Structure 1
Amino acid sequence: MQQDHPFVRDAFPDLVAELITLLETEGERELALHATDLRLVAMCDCGDDSCQSIRTAAHPKGQPYGEGHRCVPLLPEEGTLVLDVVNGRIMYIEVLDRRAMHNRLGARSRR
């Protein structure tokens, strides 16, 4: 159940604060408002050392998102941040080429 997953804001508060600022800068106010309620469903398991991406909703591996999907590239000072959004809901936060993020709820993310 989605509520069993911790909030991304509790695990990675600096990332969520940055997402909100970047989304507001890009005129994505609705997404910025919802960024505080994202759940950490899973860290990406692609095995790429530069990846610290976060699944915020369940998604069948290897399957496309389908209709209603759009990518929202952001302009962070470090690395790459791209959101996969489906029907106004952030499903995935692509986090690449950034310093290792510290998960405040437990173990460090891979990297």
Structure 2
Amino acid sequence: MKQEPPLVRDLFPELVAELATLLEEEGEHWLAICVWDVRMVAECGCGDDFCQSIRTAEHTPGQPYGPGHRCVPLLPATGDLILDVVNGRIMYIEILDRPPLRQRVQP
């Protein structure tokens, strides 16, 4: 049986709380709820030192998302947070020019 990827909220609770708050402020109430249940499928993998982006769903890198895709730019105090959303599902969390994410220590 394949194990599901970890929830982003379990790894980076402060990030998810910030995303939920920012989404509410933008009037994105549904996404503010959904962000609590996204999973960390993979890191971006680009290798840029300013990027900490997270893939939250399977998708071929470099390929367009296609119909139903929209970008949701948020207004954090530092750096950039931008979500790629397809048909109401958060596919990617772009995290740029921000302090290093602090991962919750797992018991």
TM-score computed with the length of structure 1 as normaliser: 0.91
Residue 109 of structure 1: aligned partner: none
Q: Identity across aligned pairs (percent)? A: 67
Residue 54 of structure 1: aligned partner: 54
Deviation at 1:91?
0.3
Q: Distance in 1 between matches of 2:101 and 2:95?
A: 10
| Secondary structure in structure 2 of the residue aligned to 1:4 | coil
Q: Deviations over 1:7-60 (max 9, x none)?
A: 000000000000000000000000001010000101110011000000000001
Which segments of 5 or more consecutive residues in structure 2 lack a partner in the other structure?
A: none
For residue 40 of structure 1, what is the amino acid of its counterpart?
A: M
**Count of aligned pairs:** 106
| Secondary structure in structure 2 of the residue aligned to 1:20 | helix
For residue 94 of structure 1, what is the amino acid of its counterpart?
A: E
Report the aligned-residue RMSD.
1.6
TM-score computed with the length of structure 2 as normaliser: 0.94
Which segments of 5 or more consecutive residues in structure 1 lack a partner in the other structure?
A: 107-111
Q: 1:6 to 1:24 in 2, by over 3 A?
A: same
